Structure 1
């Protein structure tokens, strides 16, 4: 009899347990963690702006703002200006997305990336939908910021500079003054002064010119002359070989002439053209 009572008690407890499992309160679902509230994110300041999406935080960390594309060259200045006015020296809350990338929350709780895209200052990157893509679509339709005009895909090369006149000749290293000092029938005497304006010492020289009226050199001092037809070549004497910078030497000669006695107009010193004075 006692065994039967124990069996009835066990059966009653078993049925009660089954009833509770079938008709009782369900077990609670496991809890899933959610992103931390904005107010729980660490707060810092932005101390440098490198471009529209790259910043340096107060602790020296340099980071790229997540989900923003690199600014186009034609709008990079506007993007930098927007980021500077919005973030520089401002307190922000930082949420690290991946190493080297962060999202920045402005003091009013606005995500900077969303603000930049909404203003048309930046484009999104790596986004398939959501608020950022919606903001980019609205900015594009409203022609805001970079959407106001199409950025060229490449910058055309500037046309080559055009010149309306020939390049000026190089500065002459010498100035020659040729002066007829006296004349008499069939003969004349002349003096030639050579000035060194090259800025450097001349050590040894040859002066050349050409007569146009059949003149000939018969005797020369301070130098040695040789002549072939109209061409005259004059080489320094030993004591006149040096011409210091901004200094000069003078040589003289007697010559013959029959008729006109035009002054030579073209002189060279060691192959370089001289000006005449």
Structure 2
């Protein structure tokens, strides 16, 4: 790492400038602290650089720690373009603990970090019952990524309305508590490219006719149903 420009912008060893993915621009009040943290953490360090989006990079410290997660965890920066996962959890904990920028109660409202925006729809879910017989049924669920960004790890949640229970599931890992169902990706299908999709299927038990759940979410974001 050659130079740190600000808390979320760096100059790589080859002279290229890049923005660190998933971090929001620091507010005026937080900019100096964010730059100091980034400089001490990254400058002249041998960090691992990876890139998916042109002009943006992810940085891993020598011990494997993700820089973006570390910066958010200590309250120096906020997240951007993230709907769930470790970064959002870290931001919530930093806010509750009043770390870093969260402790700056005298920061003018005009320069305070804006609240994270939630897109109207970042995903489309198609739920289809493919077979049904007495006391049981089979269904598949297709999740399409319309967020405009790569999804790296997903969890689909829904609520059954008629007392159904998932008894066997493939292409994912399921957990169920009462009517609430949560399905996380398997190791081999964690990534969903832009406008791409993944499908998982399951067998379920039912006391009578089964109908599609009313709503779905992926990584905490509400989805459009198709």
Normalising by structure 2, what TM-score?
Answer: 0.48
Q: Which has the higher helix share?
A: 1
Larger Rg: 1
Considering Cα pairs closer than 8 Å and 6+ residues apart, tell me whether 1 or 2 has the greater RCO. 2
